[in-house]
Amino acid sequence: MIYFEDLEVGKETDFGHYAVTREEVLEFARKYDPQPFHLSDEAAAQTHFGRLAASGWHTCAMTMATMVRHMAQEDQAGLGSPGVDDLRWLRPVHPGDILHVRSRIVETRPSRSKPEIGSFRSEVSVTNQDDVPVLRFTSIVLIRRRPIGDGA
């Protein structure tokens, strides 16, 4: 189990890849962000996107799916997140793109009011198959502290 005490500022994590499919872009857009450039090649061609583009929120969801898949293998003592800072969609994401998700811990902080938990901030970056940045944000994560007597 990875606890707060195991975290180090500067540690980088490679969460892996996510393949963006046309079907998933359309399904997400229909349900959550039905703007024409997320639903139609013709409508997208009339915009700065030039072709069908995934919703930025879908890009965030694909990023989260990639991160959670990796964290499940690590067995992290995570307790969720109170939010993100500085969320930026940098470039459109299109069907056929392969997203690559990475992070770097920039801060760790024990809780002042709840001694059994801490938090950390990570700069998360997502690039496409050409290593072009498409998304970035600072993630804030709550995590359990190592239980007393667990010296592992």
What are the pLDDT digits (tens) for 122-137?
999 999 999 999 999 9
- Give me the residue label for tokens 């307790």: 79
Structure tokens that stand for 94 in this block = 């299109």
Pairing of strands 117-127, 133-144: antiparallel
The answer to whether the CB of 134 falls within 8 A of the CB of 59 is yes
Go through the domains of the chain in sequence order and give each one's CATH number. Answer: 4-144 (3.10.129.10)
Tokens read off for 62: 């694909």
pLDDT tens per residue, range 52-79: 999 999 999 999 999 999 988 887 888 9
How many whole angstroms separate alpha carbon 67 and alpha carbon 126?
11
CA angle centred on 121, ends 92 and 126, rounded to 5°? 20
Q: What is the pLDDT of residue 150?
A: 64
Q: Given pLDDT bands bounded at 50, 70 and 90, which one contains residue 116?
A: very high
The CA angle 123-121-111, to the nearest 5 degrees, is: 180
Contact 139, 106 (CB under 8 A): no
